[in-house]
Structure 1
């Protein structure tokens, strides 16, 4: 008699040496894979091609689920061992309304990968033929598989028994050609997100300002024009705000300009600006030692911008886009900027440095001004792990959105929902703007705890003029966030899918 087991899932084993994942599609038909997977809805019996597979086992469905406790609830599994070393894994898909949104299919792909990894199988066929499994839904399922498969384990010394090798997943679907097209259309966003994860996860000793520059130059293979401004050029431009942050570090500052020309000549570009503090000690206003290692991720905004430009170029997006990232390291030393120092930004605005740990806005002040002054973009969006205050306000589920333009803000909110990278709009007003005024300079870079994320945004707004602009404070979502179905890594790569969705939905065509 065939044995039926209901497996209570334990955490996946230690990271595999190889993260290779091959995803194919095939029509419903003969299955030769060592492991076959199909879904059953809550309270239901196998249907579609899953019913054919189950019937071939010769087992009684009612007896099997009674023995295993399987009811089809989301997350449940029933593992069936077959003669010849073959195996069936039946997964609960929950209620019929459980997979109504595309983002739920992304999560479903992540959950599926977790279960596949636990089986340690390498040749897998997955039947997905339910009515809601549209090509777009299956592209999200494939995206979830790839995103969940990601591990940042390059610095681990793996044991020999961890070496499972590459995994091949064949999706058995009703229209393989349509699904292949949809998966290919989604793949560029996944790769951009994984690039952002890689950059954020790298330790600061391996990814300084110059190493980050080299990573951006790799985008030239995709047709991206990469321009790098070195310290002497930044000094000539008068970028005193950005330069003062770098004064305490042996690593030189760099401003990187990435240009993708996919639109028509003369079309206004879409501009994206990222904070790239490769490590942030706080400078003279030094941070507490606890969890300071997380500050290797203070370049999460720059990572997202780099991942986005990679995405747009990879899929040949029909737009002109600019990615500008300010790369510095904030360190305490005899040459570091001091609290009370006054610096002049590229715009001519003088800034009193109250707190050297409010450094990201100083970097962005010059990067934003340079971008709007040189490129005259259609809009300008900056991303930055800017304030701890936004985590107090929103936790790790939403990034803060600040904008001077209602239309752009609404577009971003919608894109965030569609990409499952959610935003929450926060206020800007003249009342908050008064708080950043300084006794000794035009403005000051810190006003203390009250409305900390809002006053930081008011500071940035001084450097955008009248261009439609949005500031995304991603301090709570760029790294260290709670693990989702599609991410077990420290950094989720937040922002790439969101901004790619914005461009696709509102600025192409």
Structure 2
């Protein structure tokens, strides 16, 4: 696939894709009088007015070549949202191939460029009978110079990297291979990477993290990424991604139907990796340290058990109520580390943490807990720019009673009620006074069926929200 910006064009394309706002449907000037008449009749017959979610296409013989004219309805210019633009172009472009001219007509170039990348994405690397993919060459018509193609390409490639990481099977992406992948990305895009092996993790007394990793053949890795884009500032932002590269549930074993897709339980790690790549490639003026406690939750004779009492880097003791509530145990050590050893001024953790968030918010919306209103407000604004939905959940003190233990400081579950809230608040126990947000992406990081501009598998949601969050800080 090739994408370039053009200010004028003389060649005849296989397809012409034109966005139209409601009430502003004009005929492409490059057509002959007879061709315009055909298109006008089609617009009249289909009653196409540019209404959001509508489109028409018309095949014509134009200067001796069969071409496809596609009009995309975007609705009201004032009410247009990012995800609506990307979805509209995605749907129009997905089945097209050859040389394609894409009009812009007042739409942000970066959003169109993103849609071009998503339209041709397919995770098919393991198929031996791949369909022949026809070459696509996109010329995006612009009237002035813009850097939108750069930002759009970087964001799309970062999102698709996240999708790829989520889609890879657990025999390909495991703690060591994930660490190697991050090291390669750091060298490629200009951020520092440091990897702690099991000895260093033990030295740091990350007992909760190591308890989860105990039974796995693939040994844990603690991955640190550092991007210092503002050397004149001493302030550092913290990002933490849940890195369970496979989750059996441990001795609280998942049923087979619930285990088959657990390669995606490192969606939080994939998301923060994608965000770091976008931020460093676009050279955003900010400082960020990102950490991932990468491990597998497996079964074995040495596995941690329901009823065990374990320690944590933060010093609190935890009664293990359920070994399938493992993500929060890895996150508390990662969060405590980044606050106390990397000296971040605020921290955001991103995790496929609970099934309860799907019950509450479905697959379209990321659940958020926060101890700081300004942080959440900034995240909400960033999510609107990105076209990704977030919703704040309460963290009232009464919920703490649900995960109190009679024999330790805390339990790692809070029972069946308010599951997403108590899981997030369990992590909050280890942040102290540091401004903090928890993003539960269990519903949004992957999908079983295509929707919008997402294909089956990883979605890459929240990468663009995090990018915009740090861009505006």
Residues 74, 84 of structure 2: 8 Å contact kept: no
> Does 2:172 correspond to 1:203?
no
CA distances 1:8-65 after superposition (whole Å, capped 9, x unpaired): xxxxxxxxxxxxx211111244342232333455676534xx1333637364444444
SS at structure 2 position matched to 1:23: strand
How far apart are residue 91 of structure 1 and its match? 1.9
CA distances 1:374-397 after superposition (whole Å, capped 9, x unpaired): 122121000010011111111111
Equivalence for 1:152: 123
Residues 351, 443 of structure 1: 8 Å contact kept: yes
Of 141, 146, 160 in structure 2, the residue corresponding to residue 172 of structure 1 is 141
CA distance in 2, matches of 1:414, 1:68: 37
Of 382, 397, 404 in structure 2, the residue corresponding to residue 415 of structure 1 is 382
Equivalence for 1:55: 33
CA distance in 1, matches of 2:338, 2:269: 14
Residues 103, 418 of structure 1: 8 Å contact kept: no
Equivalence for 1:6: none
Structure 1 residues 92 and 103 mapped into 2: Cα distance closer, same or farther (>3 Å)?
A: closer
Tell me whether 264-273 or 103-112 shows the greater mean CA deviation: 103-112
Equivalence for 1:184: 150
CA distance in 1, matches of 2:29, 2:266: 50
Equivalence for 1:282: 249
CA distance in 2, matches of 1:258, 1:319: 14
Equivalence for 2:426: 459
> TM-score when scaled to structure 1?
0.87
SS at structure 1 position matched to 2:29: helix
How far apart are residue 85 of structure 1 and its match? 3.1
Tell me whether 347-356 or 52-61 shows the greater mean CA deviation: 52-61
CA distance in 2, matches of 1:231, 1:94: 53
> TM-score when scaled to structure 2?
0.94
CA distance in 2, matches of 1:395, 1:45: 36
SS at structure 2 position matched to 1:82: strand
SS at structure 2 position matched to 1:390: helix
Residues 339, 345 of structure 2: 8 Å contact kept: no
Structure 1 residues 64 and 237 mapped into 2: Cα distance closer, same or farther (>3 Å)?
A: closer
Residues 74, 88 of structure 2: 8 Å contact kept: no
Equivalence for 1:25: 5
CA distance in 1, matches of 2:42, 2:393: 53
Equivalence for 1:110: 90
SS at structure 1 position matched to 2:334: helix
Tell me whether 214-223 or 235-244 shows the greater mean CA deviation: 214-223
Residues 280, 329 of structure 1: 8 Å contact kept: yes
Gaps (5+ residues) in structure 1?
Answer: 1-20
CA distance in 1, matches of 2:311, 2:54: 56
